[in-house]
Structure 1
């Protein structure tokens, strides 16, 4: 892949992420929550539907991880310099994947513990969507981070909104943990996008613009009934992924002291996309 950051830049971003993930903030599915108190009877039908939806999204982690593994390979298909970059990024990717997999397990555990789902039936339902291929058709590396920046922030915001309306304190506690993790993931992606903008300037503008112009949340093009379901959960807890666009604009504004005309046009374009979607 062309136009990669210097490996030292990636290492610095990864080190910052790891330093922000203290042992005291670590949690596990088995002990972090009182599963015996989980009660889906406290949820509205819409809230239960939202839990089912986000469980499917989170459970597709193998597909998301595979995208990064294919796009930033750590094997002999790349030259040593590219390998160095990808190996530094891999330190983040495996930590991120472990945390996202924990999210999937926590949501599935909630469904079982609260009486929403039978374990065997849930496993089959998740497999029906999970086996579908996920892909991001990007060529410039900054696009993977710009996409994830919006996706992680949008997910964080939705978990916070769903927590506020949740009738079950156990679900609220789960969503609090998930939102905090997504906030840290967003911070890493924002750091990477900022580094690309500082290193490459206008060369990163068109790739980021292309991400926003064709943005779809994960599984939007593969999950059966996605758009109908997404509208339903939006009614439950104020969901709109374009709410994350303002955070991308802030990242761009902070990345450079004096924006070029192309960067100014990019932030205007992102703002317009957000406004049109509302």
Structure 2
């Protein structure tokens, strides 16, 4: 019998550059905000009919999937802390870097609000549908939420590349789960969550394209490193993560490497005349894709997180 071990991550300081020019970051952030205009936003309290939520319409696997993604989404404070720790707004950074981080912060706070809404909505669904009682669920979330979170990368572009894959993978999973769940309330909620994740992915895609256009080969290796060591959030800290992944494998097909084809498209779109290093990157990413659905026995195909970040 395999025993799952957890380990506390090493918390890292400010990331290394290169960074985009503050004006370039500001353009990407403005486009993100435009895509999430007020008329497209939704409110947890009024967006769905919570009185109609009914977990009796779900299979055991679907219930387990809801519990799993709630734990992942609720870790938002840890994800947000990564941005504030790795892109600090303090006197320890230069004025130029501060200006970049300040523009990024305009994205980060909106992203955090939206991801926190995901956590609150999934909490509400669990309690109103009959999956869990509020006090028990709060204790369960607190047990995982107290654990720190970190990404094992020191280059800024690597953090954006990681978030790009994670956001797209989460979007794909929510779409897959939505297509099979029996409760229309949950299906509507997952649709809203997946649309938010699509916008988050679009922002990261914009950032990564800008990096590739400006820095070219200089950012290839950090992106490659992300794919070489990719693991979804909390895979190393949540007790029973892999066993839980096995339990909910039948809820909806999921393979995070499905997101890799989107990364390849972004690289190809950003680079007009690919260098040997860029060509090698796209070949490597393509080779890392799962050729066929796996039985969720390895990190190559596990249920996702959302956070979001």
TM > 0.5 fold call: yes
Indicate the residue corresponding to 2:154 in structure 1.
Answer: 139
Which one of the candidate residues 33, 42, 60 is aligned to 1:27? 42
Aligned residues of 1:234 and 1:240 also touching (Cα < 8 A): no
Residue 71 (1) aligns with residue 86 (2): yes
Inter-partner Cα distance in structure 1 for 2:146 and 2:67: 17
Indicate the residue corresponding to 2:209 in structure 1.
Answer: 194
Indicate the residue corresponding to 1:61 in structure 2.
Answer: 76
Inter-partner Cα distance in structure 2 for 1:227 and 1:249: 28
Inter-partner Cα distance in structure 2 for 1:211 and 1:249: 13
Residue 178 (1) aligns with residue 193 (2): yes
Secondary structure in 1 aligned to 2:63?
helix
Indicate the residue corresponding to 2:3 in structure 1.
Answer: none
Structure 2 length-normalised TM? 0.88
Aligned residues of 1:233 and 1:239 also touching (Cα < 8 A): no
TM-align CA RMSD:
0.9
More helix by share: 1
Deviations 1:121-157 (A, max 9, x none): 1000000001101001211110011000000000000
Residue 208 (1) aligns with residue 228 (2): no
Residue 81 (1) aligns with residue 89 (2): no
Aligned residues of 1:59 and 1:126 also touching (Cα < 8 A): yes
Inter-partner Cα distance in structure 2 for 1:233 and 1:202: 40
Inter-partner Cα distance in structure 2 for 1:220 and 1:132: 12
How far the C-alpha of 1:205 sits from its partner, in A, is: 0.5
Indicate the residue corresponding to 2:296 in structure 1.
Answer: none
Residue 110 (1) aligns with residue 105 (2): no
List gaps (5 residues or longer) in structure 2: 1-15, 292-299, 302-309
Inter-partner Cα distance in structure 2 for 1:65 and 1:192: 18
Q: Within 5 Å, which residues of 2 pair with 1:1-278?
A: 1-275=16-290, 277=300
Deviations 1:92-126 (A, max 9, x none): 00000000000000000000000111101100000
Aligned length: 278
Inter-partner Cα distance in structure 2 for 1:153 and 1:230: 18
Secondary structure in 1 aligned to 2:154?
coil
Deviations 1:146-169 (A, max 9, x none): 000000000000000100100000
Secondary structure in 1 aligned to 2:249?
helix
List gaps (5 residues or longer) in structure 1: none
Inter-partner Cα distance in structure 2 for 1:233 and 1:40: 16
* Off by >4 Å, runs of 4+ in structure 1: none
Inter-partner Cα distance in structure 1 for 2:231 and 2:247: 17
Structure 1 length-normalised TM? 0.98
Inter-partner Cα distance in structure 1 for 2:152 and 2:101: 18
